[in-house]
Amino acid sequence: MEALAAHEAAVAMAPNAAAPLANLAMFQAGHGNLPAAETMLRKAAGLPDATPQVRLNLALVLGLQGRLQEAETLTRRDLPPEMANSNMAWLRAALVKPPAAATGRSYESLKSAGS
């Protein structure tokens, strides 16, 4: 995977920079590896050049793992109350969304419907 290799190369070139590490973490999160993403984002959030976006990405990853209280604490650290409320409402809704199989919208059901 070229994208993964590029992210890993960026981290190797700047191992103490928050942005490349956070980007690699979000790549991992996007591919379903939330625990690895959390580990990387925690490290990135602790670096001197960490931005609010890094902490908000960590909050997202925590929330997607069901750790809403910790996610909310991080979210409220960097966002105004209305935005934090909105982010947390979205995250709570995302956690209760039924899986694709329960809605009949799986790849297999769509593929067979098109045949």
Reported as a single tens digit per residue, the pLDDT across 33-89 is 999 999 999 999 999 999 999 999 999 999 999 999 999 999 999 999 999 999 999
Enter the pTM of the model: 0.81
Nearest to 77 by CA among 94, 53, 99: 53
The per-residue pLDDT for 83 is 97
Number of domains in the chain: 1
Residue 100 pLDDT greater than 80, yes or no: no
Q: Which two tokens stand for residue 28?
A: 């991992």
The boundaries of the domain holding residue 28 are 2-113
Which domain CATH number covers 29? 1.25.40.10
